[in-house]
Amino acid sequence: MINSNSMISAKLASPPPSLLLPPSPRLQGRRLAPSCLSDAGMPPQSPACPGPDQESSGVARSGAKAPAAGSSSSSSSPSRSSPPRGSAQLNRWSRARAHRSGRRLEWPTIRDRSGASKAPPPTRQPSSGEAATAVVEDDIDDGVLGIGRDESAKSIYMVSDGTGWTAEHSVNAALGQFEHCLVDRGCAVNTHLFNGIDDLDRLIEIIKQAAKEGALVLYTLADPSMAEATKKACELWGVPSTDVLRPTIEAIASHIGVAPSGIPRSSPSRKGQLTEDYFRRIEAIDFTIKQDDGAQPQNLNRAHIVLVGVSRTGKTPLSIYLAQKGYKVANVPIVMGVNLPKSLFEIDQDKIFGLTINPVVLQAIRKARAKALGFHGHKSNYAEMEHVRGELDHANQIFSTHPIWPVIEVTGKAIEESAAVVVRIFHDRKQKCAMPRISKRY
């Protein structure tokens, strides 16, 4: 907890000396990081590192917690030097952003609420040679190679004192509202997650960098003084910012009549509980992995949920997603010419769910799968349309003789969406309510 307002003011008062250092050209000419056209589920990569002379402090670290930026080297250079590409609208945004950012960076003096004069944030403008700010040693995946960095992308900084997954999840969901303009449609966004930020120095450093990059700052900080410092610093330096979780926390506080603790989840004072939950969730994951792909049919009775479907209807990822939520899931493949295990028909039929999918989409998925696995000769009918249709017909016949099994149409659904349908039906059946809901006790 940071209790002193004067401490915050002191932090805001002066940029660290390193920000005044000239940039190092060391990394110029090195390969740019491949950007990853990914959504929430994908391995994120760095389309933009703050500056070219920061490599020295980026060495691998050992230990339980990776320390974030030290104060040793931070003469970051924003990368606005390349001409923005894309649509005319995009160019307008880019210019507008550059304009806004410039204005921010050139503010002569900044006053905080106490009226004290503050030093401005660093004013150094990037040179054209500093565009190469993102460097990786090797690639996360060959599949994402060759996608260049988008200079015109808007930056969103997510700052969290914990894992940052809440901010990431919320931002990802919110970005769903801008799908009509993201990436392929000309308006790219880069998100940058700064997690485990529990001290003011790093926080201020990040906000200064956000000011330089023209980024939006979205934060989840439990400690009210850290949240307040973020708000204040962002206001001072003209950085747009929003506290992602505060309205929800305040609504709950007001509803239950209890003040929030203000203690980040990572705090030692919130550690060390081995809850029943922990064991149950681990057990669900263990169970689900062991049952994957029809293994151990004698254990189907121990599952909460049993998924049945042909190959590549997403049984495994759906099982795993549900297991993470604490459900023990078994999945049983439907394969032509192979009988379903007898035990499937002996267990509680209420917990069995069929999965089905459009044959054209299934064929596309199977072709990709076959390619990935290097199928060419044998098993070649796996992705043939006639075979795909035949197998789906076979599955649908099985489903129609067991009308108690809900059949989930997974075509075009994200794993999370299919999971939501399964969980809803599962709880409807348990509850027998007219107003279906998924309830928990805390």
Q: Which 42-61 positions form the footprint of a second copy (CB under 8 A)?
A: 42-51, 54-61
Task: Specify the stretch interacting with a second copy by CB under 8 A; choose among 77-85, 170-178, 228-236, 377-385.
Answer: 170-178
Q: What is the total count of residues that contact a second copy (CB under 8 A)? A: 187
Task: Specify the stretch interacting with a second copy by CB under 8 A; choose among 124-132, 173-181, 376-384, 385-393.
Answer: 173-181
Q: Which two tokens stand for residue 376?
A: 């060419």
**Residue 17 lies near a second copy (rule: CB under 8 A):** no
**Residue 254 lies near a second copy (rule: CB under 8 A):** yes
Nearer to a second copy (CB atom), residue 335 or residue 365:
365
Task: Specify the stretch interacting with a second copy by CB under 8 A; choose among 1-9, 117-125, 202-210, 390-398.
Answer: 202-210
Candidates 88, 145, 338, 404; binder of a second copy (CB under 8 A) is 404
**Can you tell me the distance from the alpha carbon of 217 to that of 301, in angstroms, rounded to the nearest whole number?**
49
Q: Which two tokens stand for residue 398?
A: 């099985």
Per-position x/- string for 286-325, each x denoting binding to a second copy as judged by CB under 8 A, each - no binding? x--x--x-----------x---------x-xx--xx-xxx
Q: Which two tokens stand for residue 48?
A: 């933009």
Nearer to a second copy (CB atom), residue 6 or residue 211:
211
Q: Which two tokens stand for residue 329?
A: 């899931």
Candidates 2, 21, 32, 68; binder of a second copy (CB under 8 A) is 68
**Residue 282 lies near a second copy (rule: CB under 8 A):** yes
**Residue 370 lies near a second copy (rule: CB under 8 A):** no
Whether 76 and 212 have beta carbons less than 8 Å apart is answered as yes
Of residues 104-163, which lie at the interface with a second copy (CB under 8 A)? 134-138, 140-141, 143-144, 147, 150, 153-154, 156, 162-163
Give the H/E segment covering residue 104.
helix 88-105
**Can you tell me the distance from the alpha carbon of 441 to that of 435, in angstroms, rounded to the nearest whole number?**
18
**Can you tell me the distance from the alpha carbon of 98 to that of 80, in angstroms, rounded to the nearest whole number?**
8
Nearer to a second copy (CB atom), residue 2 or residue 140:
140
Query: C-alpha distances in angstroms, 215 versus 45, 238, 248, 300?
Result: 17, 10, 24, 50
Whether 175 and 189 have beta carbons less than 8 Å apart is answered as yes
Nearer to a second copy (CB atom), residue 115 or residue 403:
403
Q: Which two tokens stand for residue 356?
A: 């089905």
* Nearest in space to 341 (alpha carbons), one of 287, 299, 402, 391: 299
- Rg for the chain, CA atoms, rounded: 26
Nearer to a second copy (CB atom), residue 256 or residue 338:
256
- Residues in CB range of 377: below 8 A, 6 or more apart: none
Whether 311 and 395 have beta carbons less than 8 Å apart is answered as no
Candidates 21, 32, 370, 420; binder of a second copy (CB under 8 A) is 420
**Can you tell me the distance from the alpha carbon of 9 to that of 12, in angstroms, rounded to the nearest whole number?**
5
**Residue 411 lies near a second copy (rule: CB under 8 A):** yes
Torsion angle in degrees (nearest 10) through CA of 21, 22, 27, 28:
160
Nearer to a second copy (CB atom), residue 195 or residue 344:
195
Candidates 5, 166, 311, 396; binder of a second copy (CB under 8 A) is 166
Query: Shortest Cβ distance from residue 238 to a second copy (Å)?
Result: 13
